[in-house]
Amino acid sequence: MRESIQALKDAQAQTQEEHPLTIRHVLTDHLGTPIALVNANGEQLGQVAWVARYTAWGEIADEYNPDQIHQPIRFQGQQFDEETNLHYNRFRYYDPRVGQYVTQDPIGLGGGINNLKFPNNPLTVSDPLGLNPISGPNPPMDVGKAEGLWDKITGVFNWKENVEEGRKVKMEGEILSCKRAAEREKGMKRSVKTNWKMRQRLFVTVWLMKSVSWFN
């Protein structure tokens, strides 16, 4: 028994000697995208092992990788696929060259008219699962601006003037302003003109049977 344990320890020591363990710290930007790897042990302790600069939509523009380190992580939740040059984004595949998904949204039109759209601003928003955009860190709201915000939000929902009985409206977040729009063309009745801003983890979904104007 002792001989078996000793043989196992010797084999482990030999493996570690032939293939020493390398630890690297990952440096990321504000959205969690890796921008550098720094050696955390060994003879090259503290040295930068890998650096990358990306385009706005996540494609590597410049890369420093003298030791040919395999680092496939891209935007938060994405892994680079060398065979297709696409990014595996859990539920979908993303193409950074065109800035959109190449796989349709799993929930279809429930996620919007454009089934392939990536978050509008990749500099402030990420989509780790390929299902739902998540905002990066936002500066805290000024107390003066926040005062009376709830009254402002709830006061704009005068749906009786804009939505006929029987239509379904669901609110899951924050709409900053909602105004009735004038008739824009012949045959179009009153519609809801919505001008809203997304806040972190707040989402708004409005279902109307007639024309709706959206301004993101």
Q: Where are the domains of the chain?
A: 2-135, 143-215
The whole-angstrom separation of Cα 142 and Cα 150 is 14
Q: Under a CB-based contact definition with an 8 Å cutoff, are residues 36 and 51 in contact?
A: yes
* Percent of the chain whose pLDDT exceeds 70: 59
Average pLDDT rounded to a whole number, residues 116-128: 87
Q: Which of 190, 150, 154, 193 is nearest to 171 (CA)?
A: 154
The whole-angstrom separation of Cα 179 and Cα 161 is 10
* pLDDT, greater one: 154 or 112: 112
**Does residue 140 sit in helix, strand or coil?**
coil
Cα angle, residue 158 at apex, residues 157 and 161 outer, rounded to 5°: 140
Q: How far is CA 114 from CA 39, 111, 172, in A?
A: 42, 8, 21
Q: Which of 119, 113, 116 is nearest to 133 (CA)?
A: 119
- Over residues 184-209, the pLDDT tens digits come to 333 333 333 333 343 333 333 333 33
- Residue 104 scores a pLDDT above 80: yes
- Predicted TM-score (pTM) of this structure: 0.52
Long-range contacts formed by 181-188: CB under 8 A, 24+ apart:
181/213
- Over residues 160-182, the pLDDT tens digits come to 444 444 444 444 444 333 333 33
- Over residues 35-73, the pLDDT tens digits come to 999 999 878 888 999 999 999 999 999 999 999 999 999
